[in-house]
Each structure stands twice: as C-alpha cells, then as structure tokens.
Amino acid sequence: MSRPTENPRAAGPLAGYTVVDLSRALAGPHAGQMLGDLGARVIKVENPVSGDDSRSWGPPFVGPEDNPQATYFFSCNRNKESIGLDLKSDDGRATLEALITRADVLVENFRGGVLDRLGFSTSTCLELNPRLVILSITGFGHDGPEASRAGYDQIAQGEAGLMSLTGSGPDDLQKVGVPIADLLAGMYGSYGVLAALLERERTGRGKVVRTSLIAGVVGVHAFQGTRTTVAGQDPVPGGNHHPSLSPYGLFHCRNGAVQISVGNENLWQKFCAAFGLDPAAPGMATNAERVDNRPAVTAAVEDAFAAYEPDELLEKLSSAGIPSGIVRTLQEVYEWEQALSQGLKVAVDHPVVGRMELPGPPLRFFDVDADGETETTVTEHTAPPLLGEHEATIRAWLED
C-alpha cells in the first residue's frame, strides 16, 4: 500500500484540511460527510470490533450473505477513511493523540463526559493542538437541566416541537420521513466548523463548536417559531396545506393530485383566470380571507381540477404561470433528469458491493471570469469504507 505524503482528497474548497471523525450513527457522521464532500480528508475512528453503530442498522443489507453491508451506513460515510481503535488501550489512545495533533477538525457525538474519561477532554485536545476545531454534537445540549439525556432523532423531533406541526391534524402527529433532527444537527455543526476555521485564519487558534439535535430542530422552526414567540399562537398540524397561504398545497384531480403554490395576489388572479374562478368571490378576495376560508377554497380548487389528469393539469398550470409539481417517489427522484443534472446521484466503487450509486452532495462550485463560468465541483467520490480499511495507510501517514 502506498505511503501518502499529502491529503489524498486533493480537490475541493477544503482540500488540505484533515478531519478526525469520532462520531457514530448519523448526526456526527453526516457532518463529517459534508466536510469530506468539500474536499477534506476525513478519517473515521471506529470501535475495532463492531464499528459504527449504523453498520448493523438494517435491513436493507446488500452484498454477500457472509458479509452484509448496511445501506444506512452508506448514507452518511462517503469520502472517508476508516481506522479501528480501542480508545481504552494504550495504542488506541496514542494513535488518537497523534491524529488530533495533525488534525484541523475533530468531530464527536459522545454523551457528555465520555471523552473526558478516556483522557481526551476539550482542554486536553486543545493543548495537544491549539489550532484544532472541535465539533461536539449532543442530543439536548452540553449543559442545562437535561444535558445528560440520550439523544435519538424521533425523541428530538417530538421534544423540539416538530411533530406537533407535522401530520394531517392535531390527532395525527407524525415524524418527518427522514431522521431530520440528526441531519440538521450535522448540517449546523459543519456550518459552525467552517465559521471556526475561517476565524482561525485571523486568530491562529481553534475552538469548540457545540450544537444539538433539539437546537437543529428549533433552528428551522422558521415562521412557525415566530407565530409562537411573537403572535402568541401554538401551531398545530395543517396536513398538506400551508398555514399562512391559500391555495398552497396538495390538491386532488382526476386519478391523482398535484401541488400548487399561489404565493401572492398576482398569482391568484392568474390562477382564477385560467380556471374560470371569480378572484373576488366572498371569502376569497385576499390571502387572509382565503386562509380563514380554507375548506371552501380547497373545494373550489379541487372542483376546477376534477376534469384534468395530473399531466394535463400540470401543463395548464405551467402555461398560466402557476408554480406547480407532482409528488415523486424516491425511486422517481433518482431517475429524474433534473436531479441527475445537479449531481444528486453519484457512482462509487465499494470493495464488497462493487459499483453502486449513492445520493450526491447538494453543493456545486464555480469559478467565474470574463470568459464565463467553469465548474470546479468535486465529481470523484469514494465509497463508504470498510471497518479499518485504511488502517495501514493512516498509520504510515502518522509516522511520516
């Protein structure tokens, strides 16, 4: 195996930066994956026996029966290397210490106190490497009266209010269909890391960035949050319709449904002209009236849609200038030409599964000059690693 002398991730805005990822499950690994997508070298440190928890989360599993691979693990560990370390052993601690000394970023999502007991408190890590940026993700925050609670996505979705907004009505509370609290914590965490790295350019010193699952959810309360804090309302689920705009949501037609977004009065006028409705009808003349009279507006819209199949309805809405769309399955999304054009599916070579396709990174980058734009997005990606796959390479790098 070759002995690297520089970061093998040689392209992208974070090329040359090294991230040591101690995290497992989803929130921390998602943050690490985002940094890896940007070109950082991400070294995933795992339990040498069982690895990341999500290696066993399934079904579905793929690959041979005697070496099944969890697709859950694949979702948040592309563009990483893996080394297995027993952090209770002398070798494990010494190797982690060497990694920290050479790293730019350390990502961890242990429960409070675990790293301290292993001998790697934040102060110790910063003594080893004063330029280190440490990202710490917890369930409920590192301090406060409930800091010690274990953080799991669905619990956080409920505790941070998201489930109280999601569902068909107050008696049908639902979680979001993906582990959104974990994902948001990872996204906010990587955002914080980038800010800390930028600050380090001025100060020469690293720092600790902390976020949590509940913070991530509260961070996207958006207008529902200000409905509560400013207007004094306590929002409830509104199903597939917008609580502050009408008509805006999912509406049924013949043999299906479409979604429309009538976001201003100009669009309302265009919509009514296209479908023969009176824009000034009682209870419909303004958005506020339409929100107050939502059942009547919904009935009028669906009556107008009843004669149309989804495809012909979408064509008519588009011709009228009304934002609209369908609800795609995930399989349809990953076959959709527009999604593919944005790099939202990538192919990688996995040592066990072989060639496979993964959801792609959500960012693209361009250089712009007088001659136009040149895309600089990283398009070559590596598969999520096998447990300990890169141990020899990483140890050789540490010995350089």
Task: Summarize pLDDT for 20-56 with one digit per residue, the tens.
Answer: 999 999 999 999 999 999 999 999 999 999 999 999 9
Confidence category of residue 10, pLDDT binned at 50, 70, 90: confident
Quote the pTM value. Answer: 0.92
Same domain flag for 42 and 152: yes
For position 2, what pLDDT does the model report? 31
Q: One of 143, 182, 311, 371 is an active-site residue; which one?
A: 182
pLDDT value at 124 more than 90: yes
29 burial (CB, 10 Å; 0-12 / 13-18 / 19+) is buried
Are the beta carbons of 396 and 4 closer than 8 angstroms?
A: yes
Same domain flag for 253 and 213: no
Same domain flag for 273 and 395: no
Same domain flag for 153 and 286: no
Q: Of 281, 302, 325, which one is at a domain's C-terminal end?
A: 325
Q: Is 90 a catalytic residue?
A: no
For position 260, what pLDDT does the model report? 98
Same domain flag for 143 and 279: no
For position 166, what pLDDT does the model report? 96
Give how far Cα 57 sits from Cα of 25, 68, 71, Å. Answer: 9, 11, 8
State mean pLDDT over 201-218: 98
What is the CATH number for 309? 3.30.1540.10
Q: What is the pLDDT of residues 329-343, one digit of tens each?
A: 999 999 999 999 999
The percentage of the chain sitting over the pLDDT mark of 90, rounded to a whole number, equals 95
Is residue 6 in some structural domain?
no
For position 42, what pLDDT does the model report? 98
Same domain flag for 272 and 207: no
Domain range for 294 is 248-325
For position 9, what pLDDT does the model report? 64
Same domain flag for 177 and 287: no
Q: How many domains, the chain?
A: 2
Q: What is the pLDDT of residues 70-88, one digit of tens each?
A: 999 999 999 999 999 999 9
Q: Of 285, 307, 325, which one is at a domain's C-terminal end?
A: 325
Same domain flag for 119 and 160: yes
Same domain flag for 143 and 277: no
Is residue 294 in some structural domain?
yes
Are the beta carbons of 27 and 183 closer than 8 angstroms?
A: yes
What is the CATH number for 113? 3.40.50.10540
State mean pLDDT over 5-26: 84
For position 270, what pLDDT does the model report? 97
Are the beta carbons of 353 and 49 closer than 8 angstroms?
A: no
